[in-house]
Amino acid sequence: MTAEMSEGEWEVSVELSDCACEDAEAVFRVLGGLFRSDWNELQPEGRRANVWLSRFDVSGDGGRPDAVTLGSPVTAELQGSPHAVERLHGVLTEAFGVVEVLEVAGDQEKQLRLRLETR
């Protein structure tokens, strides 16, 4: 589900690390199936990367995700407006086992670091 992305209050930047490429792709497939993103344009060539990045527009009702199996835990860092980050966090909680590692909140922006695991 690719569409034009614009900076806005419903956009969340997602950074995945400490994981295999297959696990990063699994997480982005779940999110990309529910929300507009730039993931298709940004996929790393050669499937080797230390960090995977994408932006998601969570303004629409993306629906409910299916639970997903991961080969190993994934570190996910979410950054955006507080309500947008909370919406994406809710979706991740439905699809994965989620452990909150770090939260930095301000009036205009929220950063959340999560550990995603198979439920």
Residue 12's pLDDT band (cuts 50, 70, 90) = very high
Tell me, what's the pLDDT at 34?
94
Tell me, what's the pLDDT at 41?
64
Q: What is the pTM of this model?
A: 0.86
- Residues 48-102 have pLDDT tens digits of 678 899 999 999 887 899 999 999 999 999 999 999 999 999 999 999 999 989 9
Exposed, middle or buried, 49 (CB in 10 Å: 0-12/13-18/19+)?
middle
Residue 71 and residue 89 in contact, taking contact as beta carbons nearer than 8 Å: no
Helix or strand (DSSP H, E) at 21? helix 21-34
Residue 57 and residue 81 in contact, taking contact as beta carbons nearer than 8 Å: no
Give residues with Cβ within 8 angstroms of 40, minimum separation 6: 2, 32
For residues 40 and 45, the model is more confident at 40
Q: Which DSSP symbol is given to 46?
A: G
Which among 44-48, 92-96, 106-110 has the top mean pLDDT?
A: 92-96
Count of other CB atoms within 10 angstroms of residue 17:
15
Q: What distance in Å separates the CA atoms of residue 32 and residue 1, rounded to the nearest whole number?
A: 6
